[in-house]
Amino acid sequence: MVSLGRVAKLQFGVIQSALSCSKATSGYISRIQSRLQFQWRPLQAFCSTTAPSCDITVQYKHGRPVLAIPLPSRRECCLFSLRPMLMNVGDLIQDVQREDPGVTTTAVLSADGELLSSATSLETLLSKDFQILINNVTYHVHSPTREVMSSERARHMEDMKAVVHMLHTALNLPRHHQLQEKELLERLSCLRQHLLPMEKVKTRVERKAEHMCSWAMWAGVAVLSVQGGVLAWFTWWVYSWDIMEPITYFLTYSTSMGFLSYYILTKQDCTYADVKNRQFLHNFYKVAKREGFDVHKYNSLKEEVAGVEENLRRLRKPIQFQLPVEQIQPQP
């Protein structure tokens, strides 16, 4: 009887444990099925029906205005740091197009829709609201309100700007002078190398023109000598003075008419020095054309050399460097 009771208890415990295991297994299976149903159910798309805002506000970060502009290709806003005193509208447009190659058309308009010039400074642009047109999409930009500075504060700001300018000049001007002097010396050396062969040709042309001018002057002396000899021969050996006097009068009158014609044609007095210089220039251009000497190129190079030398002279005199050219040039 004792053994039968133990057997019955053992059977009852086995049945109870089996029932508990089946319940745990069914609960675990139900949890797995619920997870699978949640994982494999159809996905749902969540979209915003509100259109992106076309209003942009200029913000100041670290004392500098920053403009957040939406870029069409990247589909995100890009922060552009502005320098109102150094940049203009053209610089802002170039920065936007450089940042996003997909930007084909960019323009800056006023609040009334009028197109602004590329030369408009950003300081003037930020003084009131404006619009930016990017790929046919218009964005309204709201500029922050500025407080009106008092006269004393404005004077203080001007003094600070002057001090900063003087400090910048004291720190960077000597270095800038050295770079400028180096560039001018290199330019002067290059110009002199171009002028060196032309100077040799010019010297040869001048020598030939001077030789031709001397021959013309000696020829004039010879003609006058022959004329005086002929008149003397006719006066004392062939005819008398009574016959030769009217002839010499008409010769003198013809010479006066020649001098007057020279003045009418050349607008210069018929002096020996002016006639010689005019004849020299005529011979010089004639010989230069025959020798292939470019007079205009030579003159332009000489003018450039003179300008570079004048800049070097001003650069090496710091007291006169910041003065106008009219005050530095010597008075006639």
Whole-angstrom Cα distance, residue 134 to residue 146?
27
Task: Identify each DSSP E strand in the chain by its residue range.
Answer: 55-57, 59-61, 64-71, 76-81, 106-110, 130-134, 137-142
Tens of pLDDT along 197-237? Answer: 888 888 888 888 888 888 888 888 888 888 888 888 888 88
How many C-beta atoms lie closer than 10 Å to residue 16's C-beta? 10
> Which of these, 171, 159, 164, 113, lies nearest to 140 by C-alpha position?
113
**Residue-level length of the chain:** 332
Q: What is the pTM of this model?
A: 0.42
Contacts of 143 (CB under 8 A, 6+ apart): 58, 126, 127, 128, 129, 130
How many C-beta atoms lie closer than 10 Å to residue 284's C-beta? 20
- Helix 241-266 to helix 151-233 angle, to the nearest 10 degrees? 160
Tens of pLDDT along 102-160? Answer: 888 888 888 888 888 888 888 888 888 889 888 888 888 888 776 655 667 777 777 78
Pairing of strands 64-71, 59-61: antiparallel
Residue with tokens 């020649």: 258
Residue with tokens 């470019």: 294
Which has the higher per-residue pLDDT, 187 or 3?
187
pLDDT of residue 12: 47
